[in-house]
Amino acid sequence: MKAKPDVKASILRVFFLLIMTLCISSCKESDSIETTLKNEVFIKSDKEHTEAYFLIATANIGKSIISKSQIAEQKSSQSSIREISKRIESHQNLLLEDINKMANNRLVIVTDINANNTPGLRELIDKNDVDFDEAYLNSIAKLLEQQIKLFESISKDTNDRVILKFVLQYLPENYQFLRETAQIREQIN
């Protein structure tokens, strides 16, 4: 009769050890799953970095264009330059609104630039009336070219529909403004 309780005790011990082993191994698996999920959440792909860079760089160029256009509206002696600078400023403000919406949806922080630190802004302000118009047109043309290069680059590097739609909306207008600034530059020279 003693054999049966020993067998029962042995079976219970094995059964208990088996349950403990299963519990421990399942806990390890859930830890590895949890760790994997955490890592996947915090690892950004190159595509996400590229898109974030695009949003930030485009916003920064847009803010520079707006600052310089506002100065041209006040300081330019040419009515054609004042008129195109108003249109460019309006266009860039719309562009900036769309960039900020996309950035917010993607949890990208688009930092504000202090307008006084915009490259070339101080030099543009200090130009005399004769040199101002040409300096403004050259500066805006360079900034528009930079923005166009960003648009073309991101359109090759992403398949994100929202960004591609954005590029299709704003790229033709940037080319148009670039052509118009070149025409005005030829007229005043």
Measured CA distances, 78 to 40, 46, 167 (Å): 56, 45, 31
Residues 12-27 have pLDDT tens digits of 666 666 666 666 655 5
The winner for highest mean pLDDT among 4-13, 20-29, 52-61 is 52-61
Measured CA distances, 73 to 8, 32, 81, 108, 133 (Å): 95, 61, 8, 32, 11
Domains and CATH numbers, the chain: 46-188 (1.20.1260.10)
- Tell whether the torsion through CA atoms of 80, 131, 185 and 69 is positive or negative: negative
Specify the range with the lowest mean pLDDT, choosing from 1-10, 16-25, 30-39. Answer: 30-39
- Average pLDDT of 75-103? 94
Residues 112-151 have pLDDT tens digits of 655 445 667 788 887 887 789 999 999 999 999 999 999 9
Q: What is the pTM of this model?
A: 0.73
Nearest to 143 by CA among 119, 115, 122: 119
pLDDT score of 9 more than 90: no
Instruction: Assess contact for 86 and 69: CB atoms under 8 A.
Output: yes
Residues 91-122 have pLDDT tens digits of 999 999 999 998 888 887 887 655 445 667 78
- Average pLDDT of 34-56? 68
